[in-house]
Structure 1
Amino acid sequence: MLKIDRHKLLEEELRTYGSILISTMSQKLDCSEETIRRDLKELEAQNKLKRIHGGAFLPEADDKGAPVQLRETFFSEEKKKLAAYAIDHFIHNNDTIFLDCSTTCLALAKEIVQRNLSVTIITNSLRIFDLFSNQFSKVKLIALGGTFRQRSNSFSGYQTTSAISYYLADKCFISNPVVDLDHGLLDNNMNESQVRKAYISQSREHYLIADHTKFSDSADYIITGLDSINMIITDKCLPDIWNEKLQQCSIPIRYC
C-alpha cells in the first residue's frame, strides 16, 4: 500500500474513533509497526494528530489529553507495580484517600479491591465507580458528582470541587498527565486541574504516583508546584537534573 493511502486510512480511523493503536493499525493495513510509527510521526509533524506511547489520538482545542480508553492500553504492568508499591508502603486499613481519574489510580483502586482493604475512597472517576458495581468490597466509596467529561470518564467542574471541600482525607494519590521541572504538576484540562488541586488542598499527605514518561512531556494548566508533594513514586530512575531538583525541594522519591 502506498504511503499516501496509509495516511488517508489512518486519518479516517482517527476521525471515526478519536484514537488508534499502532498494533491494531499494523494488522489492519498489513504492514510493520515501525511503518505505522513513521506514518504517525509524519502526520504529527503536519499537526493532524498527537502521538502517544503505542498509538495516537486527536487532541481537542481545550483538552490535549489522551482518551482514557487509549491510556488504559499502555504501561499496564508498570501501573500495577506502582499500585502495589503504593499499597505496600503507604496505604493502611481505615485510611481515607482521594484518587484522581487517571488510569494509574484506577490500577490502585483495583489492587485495593483485590486485597480486600478496608479504606474509604473519594473519587471523581467513573471507571473507579464501576469497579464496585458487581462485587462485594470492604471499601467505602464516596462518589463526587459534577459535569461528566467523556475523554477521561470523570466528573469535574464547580460541583466537584465544592463537594471536595467538605472532606479531609488522610492521603491523596495524584497521577496527572505531566510533571514539569520548573512549574510542577501540569494538566491537559483546566477543570481536571482544579479537581486535583482541591484533592491536594483537602488531604494531609500528597503522593504523586506516575510512570517515567510523565516527566518529559508538556501541558497547558498548572495544578501546583512540586513543593506541595510529599512523595513521588515512579517506575524508572529519573535523569540527574530531576534528582537534583527533588533534593532541593526535599521531596523523597521511590522507585518500584
Structure 2
Amino acid sequence: MLPLERRHALIKFVSKKGSCSIPEMSEILNVSEMTVRRDLKQLEEEGFVQRTHGGAISVSSPRLVEPAFEEKRESRQPIKEKLADYAVKHFVQDNGVIIMEGGTTVSVMANYLLEFYNLTVATNGLNTLAVLRSIVSTCTVLGCGGILREMSNTFVGPIAEQFFSQIHAQYAFFSASGFTPETGFTDPNPMERQVKLAMAQSARKKIMLIDSAKFSHVSLLTTFAMRDIDILITDSEAPEVSLKPLRDAGVEVHVVK
C-alpha cells in the first residue's frame, strides 16, 4: 500500500470509529506501530486527526472522508441533472469518443446519451455502465476493468489506468469533491486520482462538471490545477470570486441557469 493510500485509510478508519489505538491501526494496515505514529503525526499537522496517548481521534471535516456513492448520488440531484443535460447538449455528438469518470455528477450524463448514434463512451463507473447498456445497439460502450471500489462503485488501479492511457478521446468529463483557486480541484482517494489523471492524458479537452456546493471546500488531494481544465460547467450559485480566477487561468466557464 502506498503511503498516500495508507494515510487515507487511516483517516477513514479513525473517522468511522471516532477513535482508534495505534496497535489496532498497525494490525489492520499490516505495518509497524512506528509507521502508524509517523503517519498520525503528519495527519495531525495537516488537520486530519488529533493524536492522543496511544492513538488518535477524529477531527470533524465533511470533505476529508469520502461519503458512500448512494449518499453522494442523492445530494443536490436536480443540480446534477442540469449540469449533465447541459454538458451532453453542448459537447457530445454522433460519431464522437468521450471519457466519463464514474462519479455521481458525471454519471448522470449517461441518462442523456440514449439518442446518439455511433458514439463511443469509455468509463470506469459501474453505475454508468449499467445505464449505458441500453445504447449498446447503436453505440460502443467501453468499461475499463480493474479494482472495484465499494465507496464509489468505480474501477481503479493499474489495469484501469493502463486502459485509459490507450484511448484517444475528444472530451473527458470529470467532477471533484472540492474546489478553491488555491488548491485546484480536489478528491479524497489517491487511486481515483490516478485514474482521472490517466483519463485526462487521453483527451483533447478536459471538462469539469461541479455544482456550487463544492466551491470553497478542500479534499485530501489535488487532482487538477485550474490550468489543467479546459471547460468548467457549474450552476448559477457558484461564487464569482471563485469563477474569476478560473477565467483568468484560461478556463472556459459555462454557468447553467
**Taking structure 2 as the reference length, what is the TM-score of the superposition?**
0.72
Determine whether 1:140 maps to 2:153: no
Q: Which amino acid aligns with 2:192?
A: E
Residue of structure 2 in register with 1:126 after alignment: 126
Q: 1 CA distance for matches of 2:137 and 2:60?
A: 41
Residue pair 1:170, 1:204 contacting (<8 A) in 2 also:
yes
Q: 2 CA distance for matches of 1:127 and 1:214?
A: 22
Residue of structure 1 in register with 2:251 after alignment: 251
Cα offsets for 1:168-209 (capped at 9, x unmatched): 111000012122211212110000011111111110011001
Determine whether 1:166 maps to 2:162: no
Structure 1 segment 25-40 matched on structure 2, within 5 A:
none
Structure 1 segment 80-91 matched on structure 2, within 5 A:
80-91=81-92
Long gaps (5+) in structure 1: 1-13, 16-45, 53-58
Residue of structure 2 in register with 1:101 after alignment: 102
Structure 1 segment 103-252 matched on structure 2, within 5 A:
103-113=104-114, 115-133=115-133, 137-252=137-252
Q: 2 CA distance for matches of 1:234 and 1:169?
A: 22
Identity %: 23
Cα offsets for 1:106-134 (capped at 9, x unmatched): 11011112x34541110110001111446
CA-based RMSD of the aligned residues comes to 2.2
**Taking structure 1 as the reference length, what is the TM-score of the superposition?**
0.73
Long gaps (5+) in structure 2: 1-15, 18-56
Residue pair 1:79, 1:211 contacting (<8 A) in 2 also:
yes
- Note the C-alpha offset of 1:137: 4.7
Q: Which amino acid aligns with 1:111?
A: Y
Instruction: Report the CA distance shift for 1:137/1:180 in structure 2 as closer, same or farther (over 3 A).
Output: farther
Cα offsets for 1:46-91 (capped at 9, x unmatched): 9487658xxxxxx7xxxx2111011111211111111111111111
Q: 2 CA distance for matches of 1:134 and 1:205?
A: 27
Cα offsets for 1:197-249 (capped at 9, x unmatched): 11111100110011111112111112121101111000124323213212320
Q: 1 CA distance for matches of 2:84 and 2:137?
A: 18
Cα offsets for 1:139-189 (capped at 9, x unmatched): 210000111101000110111111111111110000121222112121100
Q: 2 CA distance for matches of 1:85 and 1:124?
A: 22
Q: Which amino acid aligns with 1:154?
A: T
Instruction: Report the CA distance shift for 1:241/1:94 in structure 2 as closer, same or farther (over 3 A).
Output: same
Q: Which amino acid aligns with 2:67?
A: A
